[in-house]
Amino acid sequence: MAMSEQKPDDREIHRMLVELHDELERAQPLDEDERAMLRHMMGDIREVLDRPDAEAVIRYRPNQTLTERLHQAVDHFEVTNPDLTLVIKKALDTLSIAGI
């Protein structure tokens, strides 16, 4: 971890997940596989955000599925949707710095 990188707090992680969820809602998938990929990622994010202690998401370790889906989405959307890819990469970076 670089010296300038501070571990994000719960609110920052929560905001990042909300931003990613909103971006996924706006994404225009090209086919049914992409729509399914987006639905699954949104469901995983909603699972974290809907927890009663949503502000404490840093203590919640999302199952490996979320990070796996995010990595797959980066690979998949890198060419077709670079804006979405940037938001997903930002989310992955934030989760990584947080140790999630």
Q: Over the stretch 42-75, which tens digit does the pLDDT of each residue have?
A: 888 887 777 766 555 545 555 556 788 889 889 9
Element (H, E) at 37: helix 32-49
pLDDT for position 89? 93
Phi, psi values for residue 5, rounded to 5°: -85, 120
> Residue 2 — pLDDT band, cuts 50, 70, 90?
very low
Count CA atoms closer than 13 A to 99's CA, side-chain side: 7
pLDDT for position 3? 44
HEC profile of 39-85: HHHHHHHHHHHCCCCHHHHHHCCCCHHHHHHHHHHHHHHHHHCHHHH
Higher-pLDDT residue of 55, 94: 94
pLDDT for position 58? 47
Average pLDDT of span 79-83: 87
Higher-pLDDT residue of 77, 3: 77
Residue 15 has pLDDT above 60, yes or no: yes
Q: How many CB atoms lie within 10 A of CB 67?
A: 16
Mean per-residue pLDDT over the chain, rounded: 78
